[in-house]
Structure 1
Amino acid sequence: MSSTIPSQQKALFLLSKQGDWKVDHTPVLKPKAGEVLIRVESSALNPVDWKVRDWGLDVIPEYPTILGCDSAGVVIAVGEGVKSVAIGDKVIHQGEFDVRKGSFQQYNLELSHLVAKLPPNLTFDQGATISTAAATAAISFYGPKVDLGGLALTPPWTNGGRGKYAGTPLLIIGGASSVGQAVIQFAQLSGFSPIVTTASLSGADRLKSLGATHVIDRYADLPSSLQVITATPFSLIYDAISSPETKETAHSILAEGGTLIIVEQPGVKEAVPTKEVIAPWAGVNQSPNKEIGAELMANLSALLENGDIKVSILLCLLDCTRNSYAVGDKPNMVEVIPNGLAGIPDGLDRLRKYQVIAKKLVVHPQETL
């Protein structure tokens, strides 16, 4: 069953490993059993998109390919057996790096159990900023305790999961990042306390409203600042920045027998066997995290609509432009890049050069000329 669907669409292709970008025509694919076809209204840019291309990461099965791992849109066709969503539903989902599911195109496919309905209080642009940050945090905490998995904690959406880890201290490096803010909120739902994070103090009130109990100036001496809060070493540290410097600092202050979660490989140069370092893979549609990914997406709409999760970008550092907006505690601040898919390479270059602060870049694929 489907609505009127074009036979052709436009997509941004990565032509080869570390190769060129090209906007080109490609067929609109039909959903298989269990899949939905989505008209992509907004697609967010993430640092992983430029890193896959520039660094030639081995996560692409074949080229040319289509990148993009965050989007929001409208279901326009459903495959056999789909019951959880219907044609016309507004949804958010995490794309995959291939021509079927990458979000840097006007129409893409996804398994129906891996999409979440867009809450009515959110726009497409806001919805497009959510999936990867939420998945990174949730998989880190609740994913299976295997390579590329997480800590296998009990999720807060299950019976007995909310508040289960009360009294367990957590240190987060980079709490103002998209992932950092998601980590703070899932940690609060799980009961972690204290929740200490590093960030610019200009955003301290915002981070405390999300669940942080203490905010340390990101430029302060971290070990001495932590001593003021607690003399007990942290057995769990989440490095949402994962630069070489932050990883080494976090590892040095981690308690013996503790765990450091990083979001980017390689690991710590001087790692010791008595301190665990894990790097979860944030894809909800790939092993080993398919099961927890499906659970997250099944519960994400309710968490967002109830205000339990507000995956947001701090507003204090930049003024809004004509194509940017901020609305209360919703996922924001968003800058819409002009020219649709053709604007993505320039946007990724801005991310590469660290020229994007306190906002997410999104494109509207349907505006591609």
Structure 2
Amino acid sequence: MSPQQKALLLPKKQGNFEIGSRSIPSPGAGALLVKIHSAALNPVDYKIKDLGFFVTDYPAVLGSDIAGIVEEVGEGVDNFRKGDRILAHGKFSNDFAAFQQYTLTDARFTAKASYEKIPSSESFDSAATVPLGLDTALVGLHGNHFGAGLTPPWTKSVGESKKPIVVIGGSSSVGLYAIQLARLSGFYPIITTASPSNEELVRKYGATHFFDRNLSGKEVKAAISKITDSAIGIVYDAISLPETQSVAWELLANDGTLVLTLPASVKEDEGKGRKVISTFAGPHDPQNEELCSSSWAVVEKWLSEGTIQPNKYEVLPNGLEGIIGGLERMKLGQVSGTKLVAHPQETQ
């Protein structure tokens, strides 16, 4: 019998999470076996549980954000070895998911996490806040299929473009990475909305102008007109609820692009040219593979140089079990400007 591990299982569609056990998988070609030290939570995790999308096989293991230590290296992988500290973007497949003690990762979407600026005891927690948030921002801005198709910042030396960008929900995980990528791509001004309590946070990550998220679209538009005469060609709505989409739509230029993280509730204008794109950040999707494998090749450098800053985080107690309460808090809107992280190895 293969060795067993503890995992947080969703036993059936729209069921309740429970701690169970499953076999530790073995890495095939191009994969790594990773002992997970930190796994971060995302809104998509409770939405999968509540709505039953993305997953077809049960019992299911969820979770996309992985940080840990390489235990075994699959055939054909030559840039990682046993003992490497890594972060990786998982997928909706039990052997590649985050909410368990061991998982497989695709070496193309894995990066080393031994960056000097963060103490080693904290580096796993910090690293786990990166994968899904960064990829969602990245694909939304730079993807040709699921995004606005902007030139990725690593492919050219970017000067200040003097083009404005608006990020709705700048203090969310995705929002903070969108702000940072906008800075790397030379946008100015970088305008964002968030709670007033998170103004300092979004400015620290690179926002040049901040507005209260409770302002109407008309009020934000009037305020932006005092900052820049340029039309707003891109709005990234990291929240994407109907009310934030309507604000974003009001700000957008006639030939602009609105990037969403959820399905669109606004309708594209006939003839006016405004586009709406619902992004999908799975790096394993054929439409995203080339872009994401290129970006994951620079993630270690970005993190070690401080070019990209991970999210602030809070560690949940009780290992995998803590994820259940953490997802409930997220669903109730009780988490702001902070990523929740669990330690699967501490599961009782």
Moved more, 221-230 or 183-192: 221-230
| 2:109 paired residue number | 114
Q: CA deviation at 1:82?
A: 1.0
How far did residue 272 of structure 1 move? 1.5
Alpha-carbon separation, structure 2, partners of 1:308 and 1:176 = 18
- What SS is found at the alignment partner of 1:157? helix
> Structure 1, residues 2-32: CA drift from partner, whole Å, max 9, x if none?
xxxx811011111121112121111111100
The 5 A counterparts of 1:274-289 are 274-289=273-288
Q: Deviations over 1:127-177 (max 9, x none)?
A: 11111111111111222x22xx2222221112x2533x7122111111111
Call closer, same or farther: CA 1:39–1:120 in 2, change over 3 Å. Answer: farther
Match of 1:95 among 90, 93, 113: 90
Whether 1:191 and 2:186 are equivalent positions in the alignment is yes
Alignment partners' CA distance in 2, 1:357 and 1:211: 18
Contact persistence 2:38–2:343 (CA under 8 A): yes
Corresponding residue number in structure 2 for 1:315: none
In 2, Cα distance between the equivalents of 1:249 and 1:207?
Answer: 19
What do you get for the CA RMSD once the two structures are aligned?
Answer: 1.6
Q: How far apart are 1:199 and its partner, in Å? A: 2.1
- Unpaired stretches in structure 2, ≥5 consecutive residues: none
AA in 2 matched with 1:167: K
Aligned to 2:149: 152
In structure 2, C-alpha distance between the alignment counterparts of 1:246 and 1:11, rounded to whole Å: 36
AA aligned opposite 2:60: T
In structure 2, how many angstroms separate the alpha carbons of the residues matched to 1:108 and 1:260? Answer: 35
Partner AA of 2:316 in structure 1: I
Match of 2:242 in 1: 244
How far is the alpha carbon of 1:191 from its aligned partner?
Answer: 0.5
What is the alpha-carbon distance in structure 2 between the residues aligned to residue 236 and residue 70 of structure 1?
A: 27
User: 2:327 maps to which residue?
Assistant: 348
1:360 aligns with 2:339: yes
The farther-off stretch of 73-82 and 13-22 is: 13-22
TM-superposition CA deviations, 1:272-329 (whole Å, max 9, x none): 23210001111112231111111111111101111111133xxxxxxxxxxxxxxxxx
**Cα deviation, residue 202, structure 1:** 4.1
**Number of the residue aligned with 1:28:** 24
Q: Which moved more, 1:230-239 or 1:170-179?
A: 230-239
> What is residue 140 of structure 2 aligned with on the other side?
140
Distance 2:152 2:324 in 1: 37
For 2:198 and 2:63, the matched residues in 1 are separated by 29
Which one of 255, 259, 265 corresponds to residue 268 of structure 1?
265
CA distance in 2, matches of 1:110, 1:248: 38
Determine what percentage of the aligned residue pairs are the same residue. 41
Q: Is 1:339 the counterpart of 2:343 in the alignment?
A: no
Gaps of 5+ in 1: 1-5, 313-331
How far apart, CA to CA, are the structure 2 residues paired with 1:311 and 1:279?
A: 24
Once the two structures are TM-superposed, the CA of residue 210 in structure 1 deviates from its matched residue by 2.5
Distance apart, 1:104 and its partner CA: 0.3
Residue 182 of structure 1: CA displacement? 0.6
Q: Which residues of 2 match residues 1-369 of structure 1 at below 5 A?
A: 7-57=3-53, 59-118=54-113, 119-122=115-118, 123-143=123-143, 145-146=144-145, 149-158=146-155, 160-163=156-159, 166-220=161-215, 221-265=219-263, 267-273=264-270, 274-312=273-311, 332=312, 334-369=313-348
Q: Distance in 1 between matches of 2:328 and 2:200?
A: 31
In structure 2, C-alpha distance between the alignment counterparts of 1:295 and 1:25, rounded to whole Å: 35
Structure 2 distance, partners of 1:22, 1:200, is: 34
Query: In the alignment, residue 272 of structure 1 is paired with which amino acid?
Result: D
Give per-residue Cα distances to partners, 1:18-60, cap 9 Å, x unaligned.
1121211111111001110000001011111000110121x11
Residue aligned with 1:16, SS: coil
Relative to the length of structure 1, the TM-score reads: 0.87
Report the Cα distance in structure 1 between the residues aligned to 2:203 and 2:15, rounded to whole angstroms: 43
| Displacement after TM superposition at 1:71 (Å) | 1.5
- Give the secondary-structure state (helix, strand or coil) at the position aligned to 1:85: coil
Q: 1:36 to 1:346 in 2, by over 3 A?
A: same
CA contact (8 A) 2:245 2:266 kept: no
- Following superposition, the deviation at residue 61 of structure 1 comes to 3.6
Instruction: Report if the CA contact (8 A) 1:44-1:68 is conserved.
Output: yes
| Cα shift readout 1:179-202 (whole Å, capped 9, x = no counterpart) | 111111111111111111112344
Contact 1:251/1:268, CA 8 A, preserved across alignment: no
Q: Distance in 1 between matches of 2:85 and 2:251?
A: 45
Change (3 A) 1:155 1:270: closer
Aligned residue-pair number? 337
